[in-house]
């Protein structure tokens, strides 16, 4: 195991989610691990169906999820639709979107071999850290096989006291961008950022200097943004412009591209533009928002 271990917790200072999960696994036995949070509900045949899916995997490092029922039903409509409708390929290709792990954590069923290869859950910091997203990315890094059972096997409850709400959006953003650079951008010689607005510029500013230099252009569909023609990055400390990046129409964009536009928010327009370009997700572009 390669946990990040802090001092032993006490009643006044709980060990946190990662600590609890690691100790539960430490006290368990068997070839597979099935996780269920205290506020969720496991439905009939969950273990059986996910166990059968795990046995059918070609890779012993497997992470199995499932469809789920959201409760209350109308609490996170876009998120639930996205997660439940992901294809087998999208489990990998949409791993860096803002929605979090494509294999939804309350549905996790995994091989102990994967848990051991990853080194368990991160234990520090004890609060405000997305230990499930961190584990998911480290699982991808060691070659985990992702799979989803196309049945509703968990009732996934939504409430404001969930530990997820204790994690800041900025912490999640930094983790996502770091992993995306390591696993994708560092291998690309150049790329385009799709979105010349706030989100695209935030992404650009979050990149390492080496990856900023790979950006050949911002692209967009908005005539007002296109009229700017160039994005200039200004360094307040030196009071100089440190980079100038062209802003072009999406029709002129060169792949690969990073799409910094939220999914399911354009009434199908974004998807239509990508179809027009004949680009393939996971090859010519990745979604980051």
Which 3 state secondary structure label does DSSP give 186?
Answer: helix
Q: What is the pLDDT of residues 218-264, one digit of tens each?
A: 999 999 999 999 999 988 888 899 999 999 999 999 999 999 999 88
pLDDT digits (tens, 9 = 90+) for 139-189: 999 999 999 999 999 999 998 677 666 799 999 999 999 999 999 999 999
Secondary-structure breakdown of the chain: helix, strand, coil percentages, each rounded to the nearest 5: 35, 25, 40
By CB atoms closer than 10 A (0-12, 13-18, 19+), residue 164 is middle
Burial 9-47 (b: 16+ CB within 10 A, else e): eeeeeebbbbbbbbeebeeeeeebbbbebeebeeeeebe
* Residue 137 and residue 119 in contact, taking contact as beta carbons nearer than 8 Å: no
The overall pTM is greater than 0.85: yes
Complete domains list, the chain, with CATH? 17-169 (3.90.550.10), 184-287 (3.40.50)
């Amino acid at each position: 195991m390669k946990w990040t271990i802090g001092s032993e917790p006490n009643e006044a200072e709980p060990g946190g989610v990662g600590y609890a999960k690691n100790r539960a696994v430490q006290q368990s036995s068997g070839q597979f691990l099935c996780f269920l949070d205290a506020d969720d509900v496991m439905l009939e045949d969950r273990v059986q169906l996910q166990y059968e899916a795990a046995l059918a995997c070609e890779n012993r490092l497997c992470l199995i999820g499932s469809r789920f029922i959201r409760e209350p039903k109308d609490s996170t409509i876009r998120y639930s639709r996205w997660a439940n409708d992901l294809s087998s390929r999208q489990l990998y290709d949409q791993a860096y979107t803002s929605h979090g792990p494509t294999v939804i954590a309350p549905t996790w069923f995994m091989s102990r071999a994967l848990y051991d290869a990853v080194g368990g859950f991160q234990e520090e910091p004890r609060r405000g850290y997305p230990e499930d997203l961190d584990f998911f990315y480290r699982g991808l890094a060691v070659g985990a096989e992702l799979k989803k059972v196309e049945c509703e096997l968990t009732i996934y409850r939504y409430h404001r006291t969930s530990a997820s709400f204790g994690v800041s959006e900025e912490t999640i953003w930094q983790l996502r961008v770091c992993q995306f650079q390591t696993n994708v951008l560092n291998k690309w010689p150049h790329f385009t950022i799709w979105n010349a607005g706030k989100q695209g510029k935030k992404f650009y500013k979050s990149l390492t200097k080496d990856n900023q230099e790979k950006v050949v252009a911002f692209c967009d569909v908005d005539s007002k943004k296109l009229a700017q023609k160039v994005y200039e990055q200004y360094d307040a400390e030196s009071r100089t412009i440190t980079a100038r990046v062209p802003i072009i129409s999406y029709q002129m964009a060169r792949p690969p591209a990073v799409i910094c536009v939220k999914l399911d928010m354009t009434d199908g327009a974004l998807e239509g533009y990508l179809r027009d370009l004949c680009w393939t997700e996971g090859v010519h572009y990745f979604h980051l928002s």
